[in-house]
Amino acid sequence: MKSGIIPVDREVRFDAHEIIVSKTDVKGILTYANRVFMRVANFSERQLLGKQHNVIRHPDMPRGAFRLLWKTLGEGREWFGFVKNITADGAYYWVFANVTPDHSDGRLIGYYSVRRQAPTGAIREIEPLYREMCAIEARAGAKDAPDASIAWLTRQLEARSTSYEAFVLDCYKRHLKNGE
């Protein structure tokens, strides 16, 4: 794994009222991390600031999900999605993320991300999709991996007459309302 962190099968959860907040520059370099982020991810401010945001990327996350995120942001739109992150000691935590372009004087200066604890029921829905995307990426090879997994996910969601954004927003709201 790129970061050198060895994943362990231990989930970290945080309270529903807590919010993880971070900011990056246009290249994804962390410029701000709130205390909740540092506590949950088990990284110090010094270990985070100035580093790529993907320092917390868990190997169970398909590259296609991040390709979709960057495509959406590149269109100037905010992105919503479920993300499995890794902590400094190899544990994992799931979030429901909202990443928004950050502008100053009409110029893109970076991105602002707000993350909440992902509902357990939503994780049960997204995990098999991400697992299949990772399998597709492994078979496709590094160059074609993200596009191959996005194509598969798009077909799955079109069969449900929905988009990724609509699917994740509905999934989050539905499971939050049901308390799962």
Identify the domain containing residue 99 by its residue range. Answer: 20-177
How far is the C-alpha of 58 from the C-alpha of 82, rounded, in Å?
Answer: 12
Q: How many helices (H) and strands (E) in the chain?
A: 6, 5
Residuewise pLDDT in 10s, the chain (180 residues)? 456 899 999 999 999 999 999 999 999 999 999 999 999 999 999 999 999 999 999 999 999 999 999 999 999 999 999 999 999 999 999 999 999 999 999 999 999 999 999 999 999 999 999 999 999 999 999 999 999 999 999 999 999 999 999 999 999 999 988 777
- Can you say how many angstroms the Cα of residue 176 is from the centroid of all Cα atoms in its chain? 18
Q: Give the total number of structural domains in the chain.
A: 1
Q: Is residue 98 part of a domain?
A: yes
Q: What is the CATH number of the domain that holds 139?
A: 3.30.450.20
Residue 16: count of CB within 10 angstroms of its CB: 11
8 A C-beta contact, residue 3 and residue 55: yes
Q: How much is the pTM?
A: 0.94
Residue 50 backbone zone (phi > 0: left; psi -120 to 50: alpha; other: beta): left
